[in-house]
Structure 1
Amino acid sequence: MTQRIGLLGGTFDPIHHGHLRAALEVREALGLDELRLIPSARPPHRERPGASAEQRLAMVQLAIAGIAGLAVDDRELQREKPSYTVDTLLSLRAELGAEVQLILLLGWDAFCGLPTWHRWQSLLELAHVLVLQRPDQAAELPEALKDLLAARSVQNPQAFTGPAGQVAFMEQTSLAISATHIRALCAAGQSIDFLLPSSVQHFIQAHGLYRDAP
């Protein structure tokens, strides 16, 4: 059997139950051997994170401790240049080989913005793409992505074939949790109970994170 590995990147500033629920649902639905959470060091499309790279990595490690099938991959934190997804996929291919099935998880908004990414058309040479949708999402796709889907989409992500090259969609449980909102609550001195793992909450409080968040 070919090994199947899912990849979920993000700033995780901080990681919360929305991230974790999406990761678990995909791992179970697709029968993945492993799903790796990949914190980005210098995301090119976003402002500088509120927590340091080391703190965000520590929070991800705390969040997934003891959860079977989830792992953290810190390769992007080892780079000094911006975290381009294509570079991460090239690095994983060099490490894992050409036959492993890599499945890149993207939220709907990220997928709609894919044509602005660095070397975005090379991504499907290196991985399959699984787009995570919420029931309330109905944004119009750019024409470049409509052409991509016409050529590359499959109905069922469980039917991904080969190591890379296809796109599928999967509806996820809608959890209206955002890292932006968590940071705002911290800045306002309000509770963040039940929005993220207690271990992560304790880390945030112990290190005084996000007290000055916008």
Structure 2
Amino acid sequence: MPQRIGMLGGTFDPVHLGHLRSAVELRECLSLDRVHMVPASMPPLRDKPTVPPEERLALLRLGIGRTPGLMADARELERHGPSYSADTLASLREEYGAQARLVMALGHDAFLRLAEWRTPDRLFELAHLVVIDRPDHEAPLPDTLAELIARREVDSCEALFQHPSGSLLRLALPTRMAISATEVRRRLAAGSSIRYLLPEAVEARIHERALYRQH
């Protein structure tokens, strides 16, 4: 059987339990062999993260710990320039081979801007896309996005994995934790509690290094 490999990118600024629980449930729901969690160094369509990429990677590694099937992947930090997902998928495709079932997961808010990404068609040439529905996010699709995904959408994992790439599946994860990194940063800047929003090891390093504090 071809390997099933997931990629979950993001700024992870900082990583929180919503990110990690989504990765675990994504792996379970799609029977993935592993999920690469890939921090972006320079996200093209988002504000610059508030702490350096190496620090966000360290927090991600602490958050993952020994969780089976999850790995912190530094490949976007090792490239120069903006962090384009197509380049990351091309690297994963080269690593796992032409027959691997490669999946890029993204949240619904990022999905709504997919047509604005660089070479969005190339994403489907390299991988399947899985859109993780958010509990608080419903909006009509822009025309350019509807055109991009036309005839690509499938309604089951079995249909998704018929081929190595090219399809789109919308997936409602069981837990759907509505934790926001923006809110975590706001609470840290205000000196408010972040207990139970992040893994304890991540919280400890953030406090130890005084990250996300107002200066």
Shift of residue 114, structure 1, vs aligned partner? 0.2
Report how many residues are paired.
213
Structure-2 residue corresponding to 1:168: 169
Deviation readout 1:98-139 (Å, 9 max, x if unpaired): 111110001001111001001111100000000000243221
* Equivalences for residues 1-214 of structure 1 within 5 A: 1-160=1-160, 161-172=162-173, 173-212=175-214
1: CA distance, partners of 2:172 / 2:131: 8
Question: Structure 2 stretches of 5 or more lacking a match?
Answer: none
Contact 1:10 1:38 in 2 (8 A): yes
Contact 1:16 1:177 in 2 (8 A): yes
Identity of aligned residues (%): 48
Shift of residue 159, structure 1, vs aligned partner? 2.9
1: CA distance, partners of 2:147 / 2:117: 17
- What secondary structure sits across from 2:76 in the alignment? helix
1: CA distance, partners of 2:214 / 2:5: 37
1: CA distance, partners of 2:100 / 2:93: 8
Shift of residue 176, structure 1, vs aligned partner? 2.1
Q: Normalising by structure 2, report the TM-score.
A: 0.95
Contact 1:36 1:70 in 2 (8 A): yes
Question: Structure 1 stretches of 5 or more lacking a match?
Answer: none
Q: Normalising by structure 1, report the TM-score.
A: 0.96
1: CA distance, partners of 2:59 / 2:154: 35
1: CA distance, partners of 2:135 / 2:183: 20
RMSD: 1.2
Shift of residue 150, structure 1, vs aligned partner? 3.2
